[in-house]
Structure 1
Amino acid sequence: MKKTALVLAAVMATGMILTACGGNKTADAPTTAAGTETTTAAAEGETAAPAEEGGSALDLAVQVGPDPETVDPALNSAVDGANMIIHAFETLMIVDKDNKIVPGQAESYEVSDDGLTYTFHLRKGLKWSDGSPLTANDFVYAWQRLADPNTAAPYAGDMLGYVKGYEEAAEGNLEALGVSAPDDDTFVVELSVPCVYFSKLITHASMVPIQKATVDANGDQWTLTPETYICNGPLKMIEWVPGSHITFAKNENYWNADAVTLNTLKFVLMEDSNASYSAYQTGEVQMIKDVPTEEIPSLKGKEDFHVDPIMGTYYLSFQTEKAPFDNPDVRMALSLAIDRDYVANTVMQGTYSPATNFVGPGLSDAEDGSSFEETTRKNNGGDFFDVANHDADVAKAKELLAKAGYPDGAGFPTVEYMTNDAGYHKPLAEYLQSCWKEALGINMDIKVVEWSTFTPTRRAGDFQMARNGWVYDYDDPSNMLNLMKSTSGNNDGKYNNPEVDKMLDEANSTADVAEHYQKLHDAENMILADAAMAPVAYYNDFYLQDPKLKGTWHSPYGYWYFMYATMD
């Protein structure tokens, strides 16, 4: 998912089916006499409950970013929007504070022997926030809406690409999508190929149910007012003042409302880190995501300052359809010239880690307990970028630029780098400007764009170079690598390599776990060798949180969960 105020690809046919379902591991589940896999609350984890008991209802204020581009689950692709959506909506299965998959709207499900049919049994008596019944047909509608080409959902192919009939649905025949509701409490999904980590994909925020009545009545405006933003999660919207705040309150119609400890949750909308820091210091908010970089040295070691590793990569996108970035030698030259150790430890003050590959730490490989990153290092060519030997990379960069026809930058046009002004984005841009001038003789202009227009401009490909980033939606490297598929709705640089597409399709269509991961390793090597983008650093989230605030958790995917918060 896009990392904002700092951050899949369409599978087969063409951010949860994000990519093909090769083979990640899920929790073991018992087998019934009929031979089908059955997952219940007891099998995958207990029903979600407050992280800590006790305390009275809390009115909490937090800052996780500016105005979201959207809070429509089908249209959102940014972490800030998702942080709001996960409080207002709930998927069939959810991820708990221990990063385990537990029942959400579904109390159990079965998987057929061939792995192609998932049957979900919804909890009895589910309701929307307006008190009306929520049924399996609401999931059918939501998934069809996600596939609908008129919705233009960035995650459509990623989430649904291996659901039977997706190709037809993506062309407008929504009834062809392999989802059905035999009765109000049963939701059935038919896949075109087995996906052994499908239970992870359905936890993605785009896979929630949507109330058809409110969309029919309000069209694209349904998310903009509390009266029309009908939801099914722990909280419901009660106020949205653009540029100021979005406030949610406890949803009494949520099936597990008794566990929700919040009275209200106010998202204070700020992009300026100095403003958010001031709000934290005065007690206006109890947690902020955007901390001024100049304050970090004085904050390190304090009880309320946190640096949490999250699974994601900060990278640079090149507009690969237009010169000079249609030349892989040019892209590689600029990428190799970046001193990633300096960026992570000086520009970003040690709050990030230098990127040595595209897929970073935290991702699993084929064997239980194995690491994709470590397997790359040991068995698949090692680290692509040698951060300890940057001088050699710079020498290679000079050779490649000369090979491309621009010795010492002679004749190379002045290029433009687009970013937004939050966190380390602008300091990084200024570093790149000086780095490429000094090392390669390249002149670069910096274009700073307001967040409200930055993402749509980048998604449209209306840039030469732009900062980018992705935080994983689930534990499988395909989630990152599929960004480079030519058909991905999140391929902002419009990178197109048929061999990469083929390798990813093969990785995503095998049910063999080892083959799935090996082909992902091969795809990563191809992507890096072609300089499809330039990995810069691996994400950490650094933030301030009142030490008295308990019961919250921060997932490795960059989400904050506040619905069970208490205050000492």
Structure 2
Amino acid sequence: MKHMSKLALATLLSTTMLTGAAIAESHVPEGVTLAEDQTFTYRQLDEFSSLDPQVVEDVDGANVVRDLFEGLMNQDAEGNLVPGVATGYEASEDKMTYTFNLREDAKWSNGDPVTANDFVYAWRRAVDPELASPYQWFMELMSIENAAEIIAGDMAPEELGVKAVDDYTFEVQLTAPLPYFPQMTTHATTFPAPQSVIEEHGDEWTRPENIVSNGAYVLTEHLPNERSVRERNEMYWDNENTVIDRVVALVINDENVALTRYLAGELDQTDIPAGQYPSLKEEYPEQAVSFPRLCNYYYTFNLSDSGPEAFQDVNVRKALALAVDRDIITERVMQGGQPPAYTFTPAAVAGFEPPQLEWAGMEQSERDQMAKDLLAEAGYGPDNPLEFEMVYNTSEAHEKVAVALSQMWKQKLGVQATLANMEWKVFLEERGNQNFELARGAWCGDYNEASTFLDLLDSDSGYNDGKFSNGRVDELLEQAKTSDERAPLYTEVEQILYEEMPVIPIYHYAGVYMNDTDLGGWPVDNVEQNWYSKNLYKIAE
């Protein structure tokens, strides 16, 4: 399976009905002696947005939710689809109906069986305007019948194209034969939800004393902005093949403090602070790791009515983008193997063919001159300097990048950019409400296909925080949902993004971590970095 594409595996799954137990049994290599204490402790940057599968919207939160809840399908260490609650699925000949066969030994942590009705409830909940899920748009993107109408308030959630054929058969009706639909079921928004628990406890249902989950772990402790603890769920269908007993996530906002605590033995894993990977790799060659990730790092212009008038001029936007020396950002600031970005979509995305963009092949001096000319054409210069505020969420790495950008713009273009940082949840809210001028953005793919990035810039996307709107982009993205030749469509979208520059691509991510040598099973070959604590293990030292 290592070299098999996801789509090929999806086809295999639809006919062979692979079972999860056979896969799980092999995740500890032969000859490995396991440590007596199977506790995995890691650092997260911010308090997670939520532990509700239909509400969570950040990477740190999704990592926890993926442990607490299990969806229809999971991913293996290479990012291939493997069974979750579903043992497999079947697609109709026209690819408009998907039928998932659920395992009968899946249970909630209170002992109740996990049934198709739990998925029906969760998926209806995700599109219900009353919940206002931040990921409503994702459910619409899945092309589920009536999703768009329900989200718009024109139909009832009960009209969503999902049903429980019986307790262990879940059926989905689509409006278009979406070729990557099965991959989308690994996303947290599609995970099941316990209706009776939610109805009993309301917004407090995810508190440790109330929560009922169906994943490999249960939440036993949560101190906001400090720590959360999850422990093995004895009711989990594959509990006997789970090795890690306890997972502790510590919220540490300062990367250097986190590194100090890692080196003191308090953490099994932490992110490497910007600029420190080369020295740490030399000093700790077995612990410092860098590998490609399916994420982008960018700044988005506020193009809504609340945004600066200056940003309505494409020449201003292109000037700022051109003046960014990405090699300095990646090689001198980050120093972790991150590739510079000239497209919004990372080159590592399966099946994506980046266009040959003019600016990507230029020398930086050429870009700088072009930037000066464009800004002057827009009417800005020494006598009329461009001024704006740029915001980012609190992090030393984000601050370093923001400082570097502002200095580049000031030295090359005379631009006055004021920096402001915000706590994570405030940042998400302000950006989502267009209360910004230029804002940091980053996106990690929800599935390995270019649309997971480009759909963010669809006019109707729930995460189009800059409110960029281009009819041709919308048209191309809609065509791609049903096309067998999607690559040329995505390439054209990227060409339009270069011409319009609604966002400034800075770099594409690398996973740059310190991993303790006693931590086994980290999926460095999964570019999406969807990891599951149940697939990790601690090695005896």
TM over 0.5: yes
Matching residue of 1:16? none
2:85 to 95, 105, 112: 105
1:67 to 41, 47, 59: 47
2:264 to 282, 306, 310: 282
Q: CA deviation at 1:387?
A: 6.0
Which SS does the other structure have where 1:454 is aligned?
helix
Which SS does the other structure have where 1:293 is aligned?
coil
Which SS does the other structure have where 1:395 is aligned?
helix
Moved more, 279-288 or 482-491: 279-288
Matching residue of 1:364? 350
Does 1:435 find its partner at 2:408? yes
Which SS does the other structure have where 2:110 is aligned?
coil
Change in CA separation of 1:156 and 1:81 when aligned onto 2, cut-off 3 Å: same
Does 1:557 find its partner at 2:528? yes
Q: How does 1:371-390 map to 2 (within 5 A)?
A: 372=352, 375-376=353-354, 380=355, 382-386=356-360, 389-390=363-364
2:445 to 440, 456, 472: 472
Decide whether the 8 Å contact of 2:70 with 2:85 is kept in 1.
Answer: yes
Change in CA separation of 1:24 and 1:490 when aligned onto 2, cut-off 3 Å: farther
Q: CA deviation at 1:547?
A: 0.5
Deviations 1:464-485 (A, max 9, x none): 0111111111111011111111
Matching residue of 2:220? 238
Q: CA deviation at 1:243?
A: 2.3
Q: CA deviation at 1:138?
A: 0.3
Gaps in structure 2 of 5+ consecutive residues: none
Which SS does the other structure have where 1:513 is aligned?
coil
TM-score (norm 1): 0.88
Q: CA deviation at 1:413?
A: 4.3
Mapped to 2, the partners of 1:384 and 1:259 lie a distance apart of 52
Residue identity in the other structure for 2:215: G
Deviations 1:27-46 (A, max 9, x none): 26369xxxxx535117x995
The alignment's C-alpha RMSD in Å is 2.1
Matching residue of 2:517? 547
Decide whether the 8 Å contact of 1:486 with 1:495 is kept in 2.
Answer: yes
Mapped to 1, the partners of 2:447 and 2:12 lie a distance apart of 23
Q: CA deviation at 1:50?
A: 5.5
TM-score (norm 2): 0.92
Decide whether the 8 Å contact of 1:48 with 1:103 is kept in 2.
Answer: no
Deviations 1:442-498 (A, max 9, x none): 111101112231122112211101111111111110111111111111111111122
Change in CA separation of 1:505 and 1:294 when aligned onto 2, cut-off 3 Å: closer
2:293 to 310, 317, 328: 310
Gaps in structure 1 of 5+ consecutive residues: 1-22, 32-36, 366-371
Matching residue of 1:536? 506
Mapped to 2, the partners of 1:502 and 1:454 lie a distance apart of 31
2:148 to 167, 170, 174: 167
Decide whether the 8 Å contact of 1:356 with 1:387 is kept in 2.
Answer: no
Change in CA separation of 1:84 and 1:350 when aligned onto 2, cut-off 3 Å: closer
Matching residue of 2:312? 326
Mapped to 1, the partners of 2:278 and 2:449 lie a distance apart of 34
Q: CA deviation at 1:348?
A: 1.4
Does 1:51 find its partner at 2:24? no
Which SS does the other structure have where 2:113 is aligned?
coil
Change in CA separation of 1:486 and 1:30 when aligned onto 2, cut-off 3 Å: closer
Does 1:456 find its partner at 2:437? no
1:78 to 54, 58, 73: 58
Matching residue of 1:203? 186
Decide whether the 8 Å contact of 1:26 with 1:196 is kept in 2.
Answer: no
Decide whether the 8 Å contact of 1:159 with 1:201 is kept in 2.
Answer: no
Mapped to 1, the partners of 2:21 and 2:298 lie a distance apart of 35
Q: CA deviation at 1:134?
A: 1.6
Change in CA separation of 1:409 and 1:70 when aligned onto 2, cut-off 3 Å: farther
Matching residue of 1:141? 121
Percent of matched pairs sharing the same residue: 32
1:296 to 273, 277, 284: 277
Q: CA deviation at 1:404?
A: 1.5
Moved more, 44-53 or 556-565: 44-53
Matching residue of 1:522? 492
Residue identity in the other structure for 2:18: A
The structure, 1 or 2, with the larger RCO (C-alpha pairs under 8 Å, 6+ apart) is: 1
Matching residue of 1:6? none
Matching residue of 2:468? 495
1:446 to 419, 426, 435: 419
Moved more, 165-174 or 117-126: 165-174
Matching residue of 1:184? 167
Matching residue of 1:506? 479
Mapped to 1, the partners of 2:277 and 2:217 lie a distance apart of 33
Does 1:352 find its partner at 2:329? no
Matching residue of 1:222? 205
Moved more, 77-86 or 421-430: 421-430
Mapped to 1, the partners of 2:396 and 2:512 lie a distance apart of 10
Matching residue of 1:40? 17
